[in-house]
Amino acid sequence: MKKGQKTMLGMTWMSYLGSAYGCLKQAGMWDGGIHELFGLTGMGFHFIMHESLCPSGPTVYNWLEEHFEMLDRIGVYTRQEFVFKASATNTFDLARESATGMIQQSIEAGKPVITWGPTHIAEFGIIYGFDSQDRVFFVEDCMPEEPDPLLYDNLGLSDVPIFYVQYLVDKTDFNYDDSVLNALKFGLNYWKSKVILSPKYTSGKMAYEAIINGLEKTDYDPFGLSYCVNVYSDMKTNMMKFFTQIAKKEKFSFLVPVLDQYQQVVDAFAQAVKWAPFKGPTGEYHYTDEAINGLIRSMKTAMESEEKFMQIVSQNIEQ
Amino acid sequence: MGQLHRIKWFHERLLKQEYPNCKDISLTFEISSRQALRDVDYLRYSLDAPVEYNRSKGGYEYTDSFSLPLYFLRDDEKDRLEYLASQYALLPGKNSMELSNLFQKIAGEQRGRKEHFQINTSDFEEIITKAIAYSKKLIICYQKPSGLSEKRIIDPYRLFYRFNKSYLFAFCRERADFRVFLIDRIKDLEVSQQVYSFHEDFFENYQLIATSFTRQKKYTAQIFFSHKPDLYRFTEPQWDDSNHILTFSFVKSSNLFIKLINLDMDYPGFTFRVLSPQWLAEKLHNRLKTLSPHF
């Protein structure tokens, strides 16, 4: 018998945030907008690039640590399981099998589960239902078509074989302003960080430099470039809404004079999206010299504007 | 002197309307008349040159304007292009088909014209590449991890490399399903003269089995059919003749749906009913409901 309520991802290019939004809404743990979730969790500061500009950037960070902290900032306690299927890993199948019952329990309690790769797409998604007779989980990914369910036997066996689930356990009250402050500190750290998991990945200001270097050397993944530009354009648009919202509070009014700077970041990314439109995973990606030069100009503008914005954040929260 | 040199010489005389013939080629290059005739045939058939014999002049002439191509491909280079043409033909999308046609055009010859091909190598990968380009079945002796070898008849689809090893993605006739074969474990190999036809489930199986290597399982379905369908269109089919129930594996419900609709079109009055899994029955039912206003 089929159990669980259909749960859609939130409308965003960042699949973890979209999945978290969908699950939290369904579980009654979040009633704000998606831009607010971007900001409060700190996910909206996740600007990470690989030196090849491949599409992995937006999902390469410490999932266990950061996903816990992100939802903790909105007062949601979560449990997670993470096992990478390396050739020397013995317990991968045990982890998957033991999780089946936990996922069912969470769904029966009205809490869908955030997971990695529930379909062949290497992105986060949602497990929202199950049918024990057919031995399948009902899932949702970031594509518009309704995906086929996930066989119990295939849990964790995506093309990037990481078994990852995050259960929403419970919710507590939290101090909104403290969480904003906490998220801004997290964002500032990301802006200045040098290495994210691997030396080939950079974040914040250095992520901009990675894009500019890749474009100048004409040595980059053309699909990844378009994908990342689109993901981050969406993210920064959401963050603009968030900053505009919190700047109305006296505690964060220091943002008011630099909102225009952040708007320039958003505008530069919107222009970059025009130079590097997304044509789907099977589309052809070619860039003219005009497009490459346009992208470099956009990224330089965005980097300078975000630098000014983050300087103000730094001056005000590190006092 | 090579064939290219002789053809250039012959072409220049044709342009000057000197009506050269095989004897001229034979005498100039000290080759047999039969070999000279093969040069003329190559120009006419392989390069599509409008060359005709003019009896009154006692030699050949161009009946239309013609230029020699700027480059010539060796046979092994043509085989590689034919291989690429066959691989792109398997991929979905208009761009892939255009690339397939382009590679075929550069390779020159149409695969359909060639019924036999020469094997001048003992390199398994070379042989498999040719077999794929010409859609020939292979009979292989394959060593299982246990060390035992067994004979398999396979339709080779694609060679690929993973972790410094070569693999072959193929349709195994014994298993009636797609399989990945490690080239190092192929102990013997024979090219069959039988041509295989393209299996419509190739791409989704390739994505599931060959791109991830995570041994993901396929869905299993049971469907009642009023008429026995063509079992080759399914993978791992088991037909229960007394109850008219087909059990088979599949990868994507959307592709299965298209297949079932097409089966219906093939047989007037044909009906089917999904017995399991339940989710598939519901999904197909919903798809049919959205389509029904169009019929």
pLDDT in tens, A39-76: 999 999 999 999 999 999 999 999 999 999 999 999 99
Question: Helix, strand, or coil here: B11?
Answer: helix
Residue B243, CA distances (Å) to A249, A253, B232 in order: 72, 75, 19
Residues of B in contact with A158 (CB under 8 A): 212, 214
Using the predicted structure, report yes or no on whether residue B113 has a pLDDT greater than 60: no
Residue B267 DSSP label: S
pLDDT at B290: 83
pLDDT at B122: 64
* Contact by Cβ (8 Å): A30, A21: yes
The candidate with the shortest Cα–Cα distance to B126, out of A310, B118, A216, A124, is: B118
Ramachandran category for residue A199: left, alpha or beta (phi over 0 → left; psi -120 to 50 → alpha): alpha
The candidate with the shortest Cα–Cα distance to A310, out of A204, A181, A235, is: A204
Mean pLDDT of B183-201: 91
Check the CA dihedral A21-A203-A50-A158 and report its sign.
Answer: negative
Residue type, A286: H
Beta bridge partners of A76: A171
B283 in contact with chain A, both atoms CB, cutoff 8 A: yes
Mean pLDDT of B240-248: 97
Give dist(CA A64, CA B295) in Å, integer.
Answer: 52
The candidate with the shortest Cα–Cα distance to B163, out of B216, B207, B210, is: B210
- Tell me the pLDDT band of B29, cut-offs 50, 70 and 90: confident
What is the tens place of the pLDDT at every residue in A176-217? 999 999 999 999 999 988 666 788 999 999 999 999 999 998
Given A85, A134, A149, which is nearest B214 (Cβ)? A85
Query: Do you find a cis peptide bond into B20, omega within 30 degrees of 0?
Result: no
Using the predicted structure, report yes or no on whether residue A278 has a pLDDT greater than 60: yes
Question: Helix, strand, or coil here: A263?
Answer: helix
Place of tokens 């999780």: A99
A153 in contact with chain B, both atoms CB, cutoff 8 A: yes
Nearest CA in chain B to A154: B216
The candidate with the shortest Cα–Cα distance to B72, out of B14, B4, B2, is: B4
Are B278 and A134 a contacting pair at CB < 8 A? yes
Beta bridge partners of B52: B61
- Tell me the pLDDT band of B133, cut-offs 50, 70 and 90: confident
Give dist(CA A130, CA A4) in Å, integer.
Answer: 7
Dihedral, CA of residue B280, residue B285, residue B287 and residue B290, to nearest 10: -160
Given B212, B254, B279, which is nearest A159 (Cβ)? B212
Using the predicted structure, report yes or no on whether residue B181 has a pLDDT greater than 80: yes
Nearest CA in chain B to A135: B277
- Tell me the pLDDT band of B261, cut-offs 50, 70 and 90: confident
Q: Could you give the residue ranges of the DSSP H alpha helices within chain A?
A: 15-26, 34-41, 63-72, 92-108, 176-192, 205-216, 222-246, 259-275, 289-317
User: Looking at per-residue confidence, does B210 or A6 come out higher?
Assistant: A6
Residue B113 is encoded by which pair of tokens? 């014209």
Question: Helix, strand, or coil here: A20?
Answer: helix
What is the tens place of the pLDDT at every residue in A286-303? 899 999 999 999 999 999
Residue B103, CA distances (Å) to B79, B85, B132, B133, B199 in order: 10, 5, 15, 12, 22
Residue B193 DSSP label: E
Rg, chain A, Cα only: 20
A32 in contact with chain B, both atoms CB, cutoff 8 A: no
A161 in contact with chain B, both atoms CB, cutoff 8 A: yes
Indicate the average pLDDT of chain A: 94
Angle, CA B104 vertex, CA B101 and CA B106 arms, to 5°: 110
pLDDT at B26: 87
Mean pLDDT of B125-144: 90
- Tell me the pLDDT band of A7, cut-offs 50, 70 and 90: very high
